[in-house]
């Protein structure tokens, strides 16, 4: 089954979820690229450019972004899938309505690279959580539990939409169901294609670059400075990840918000985001050089996805 894609982004790599919609069954690999060789610490500017405190996903750019969909293209693909799905469901006698996806809804999360939260407003309002998570948890606490996936629809509806009934066990790779068929029509990603095209490669390389950056001496040095800054304000954490992953309550407390605000302030004071981004960019560039043919193939495939999606949206919904 090809699960419907959420129109939100928790990381700069939302594109990976979109690009691999047909590869979520675990068949996206094959001989696309050899394991990347060990990389050497890249050179970076003596004074890396700071990352704006309220930067969003669409405002932070790294080399591997060129091989992934940007927020606007992501929204285009999602909207086209929903358009085709609605037409297919209508032909089967069911109504299917999905809210329009915008580039803003895709890119409205704070930048947050490997260094975590870097948005002052988010920190003050939601701590380390997102607005969506806080809203949902508040509703649960007030007894307004959101409906389950299958509520309000018959088994026939879900079979028409997804090819199976929620909770009945998902089948393997399939284009059964209107949504899966629509996604495949736009992305044209099949089991055969997966043998020579690894759409998860850009995201995997981002993860690798982040891991390399985290171990880089320049990043560990600035992280130590961040930790000292936090300690000066009464918050004792060795790394931003340790602060973000502390056992915070479901709904952010004042302590969590204060910690997050101090976290962002110390990042800005030490320029941890700027140093991390510069170092990560260097590692990403090295990984691009080592994987250029495979990355180019992914970029070409994604361009085709967007072109097909634009044509579908331009023609309008079928009657």
Q: Could you tell me which residue, 56 or 93, shows the higher pLDDT?
A: 93
**Is the per-residue pLDDT at 191 higher than 80?**
no
d(CA 171, CA 164): 8
Per-residue confidence (pLDDT) for residue 102, from 0 to 100: 85
Strand partners for 56 = 110
Helices (H), 155-291: 155-162, 178-187, 191-194, 201-215, 217-232, 240-244, 254-270, 272-290
Q: Could you tell me which residue, 41 or 60, shows the higher pLDDT?
A: 41
Average pLDDT over all residues of the chain: 78
Per-residue confidence (pLDDT) for residue 230, from 0 to 100: 98
- Enumerate the domain spans of the chain: 14-315
Q: In 3D, which of 34, 78, 20, 18 has the Cα closest to residue 194?
A: 20
**Is the per-residue pLDDT at 190 higher than 80?**
no
Per-residue confidence (pLDDT) for residue 148, from 0 to 100: 43
Q: Dihedral through CA 148, CA 151, CA 154, CA 159, nearest 10?
A: -20
Residue range 209-238: mean pLDDT, rounded: 95
Per-residue confidence (pLDDT) for residue 242, from 0 to 100: 94
Residue range 220-231: mean pLDDT, rounded: 97
Cβ-based neighbours of 84, under 8 Å, separated by 6 or more: 178, 181, 182, 185, 186, 312
Q: What is the pTM of this model?
A: 0.74
Per-residue confidence (pLDDT) for residue 12, from 0 to 100: 33
Residues belonging to the chain: 319
Q: What is the three-class DSSP state of 163?
A: coil
**Is the per-residue pLDDT at 25 higher than 60?**
no
Per-residue confidence (pLDDT) for residue 42, from 0 to 100: 84
**Is the per-residue pLDDT at 52 higher than 90?**
no
Per-residue confidence (pLDDT) for residue 54, from 0 to 100: 60
Q: In 3D, which of 56, 97, 48, 102 has the Cα closest to residue 75?
A: 102
Q: What are 71-116's pLDDT values in tens digits? A: 899 999 999 999 999 999 999 999 998 888 888 777 655 445 688 8
Instruction: Give percent of the chain above pLDDT 90.
Output: 47
Contact between residue 109 and residue 96 where contact means Cβ atoms under 8 Å apart: no
Q: What are 274-295's pLDDT values in tens digits? A: 999 999 999 999 999 999 999 9
Cβ-based neighbours of 275, under 8 Å, separated by 6 or more: 44, 48, 218, 219, 222
Contact between residue 86 and residue 317 where contact means Cβ atoms under 8 Å apart: yes
Contact between residue 229 and residue 58 where contact means Cβ atoms under 8 Å apart: no
pLDDT confidence tier of residue 197, bands split at 50, 70 and 90: confident
pLDDT confidence tier of residue 195, bands split at 50, 70 and 90: low
Per-residue confidence (pLDDT) for residue 41, from 0 to 100: 80
What 8-state DSSP symbol labels residue 252?
Answer: P
């Amino acid at each position: 089954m090809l699960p419907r894609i959420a129109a939100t982004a928790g990381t700069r790599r939302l594109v990976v979820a979109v690009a691999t919609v047909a590869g979520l069954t675990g068949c996206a690999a094959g001989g696309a690229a050899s394991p990347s060789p060990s990389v050497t610490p890249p050179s970076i500017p003596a004074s890396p450019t700071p990352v704006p405190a309220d930067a969003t996903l669409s405002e932070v750019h790294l080399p591997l972004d060129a091989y992934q969909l940007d927020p606007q293209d992501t929204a285009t693909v999602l909207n086209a899938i929903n358009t085709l799905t609605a037409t297919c469901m209508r032909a089967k006698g069911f109504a299917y309505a999905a809210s329009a996806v915008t580039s803003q809804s895709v890119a409205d999360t704070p930048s947050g690279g490997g260094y975590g939260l870097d948005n002052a407003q988010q920190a003050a309002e939601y701590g380390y959580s997102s607005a969506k998570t806080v809203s949902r948890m508040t509703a649960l606490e007030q007894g307004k539990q959101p409906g389950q996936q299958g509520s309000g629809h018959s088994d026939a509806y879900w079979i028409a939409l997804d090819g199976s009934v929620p909770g009945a066990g998902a089948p393997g790779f399939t284009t059964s169901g209107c949504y899966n068929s629509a996604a495949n029509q736009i992305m044209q990603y099949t089991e055969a294609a997966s043998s020579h095209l690894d759409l998860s490669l850009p995201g995997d390389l981002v993860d690798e670059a982040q891991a390399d950056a985290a171990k880089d001496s320049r990043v560990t040095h600035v992280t130590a400075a961040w930790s000292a800054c936090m300690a000066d304000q009464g918050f004792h954490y060795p790394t931003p990840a340790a602060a973000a992953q502390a056992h915070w309550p479901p709904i952010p407390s004042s302590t969590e918000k204060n910690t997050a605000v101090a976290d962002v302030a110390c990042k800005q004071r030490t320029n941890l985001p700027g140093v991390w981004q510069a170092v990560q960019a260097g590692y990403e560039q090295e990984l691009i050089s080592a994987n250029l043919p495979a990355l180019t193939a992914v970029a070409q495939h994604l361009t085709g996805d967007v072109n097909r999606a634009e044509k579908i949206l331009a023609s309008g919904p079928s009657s």
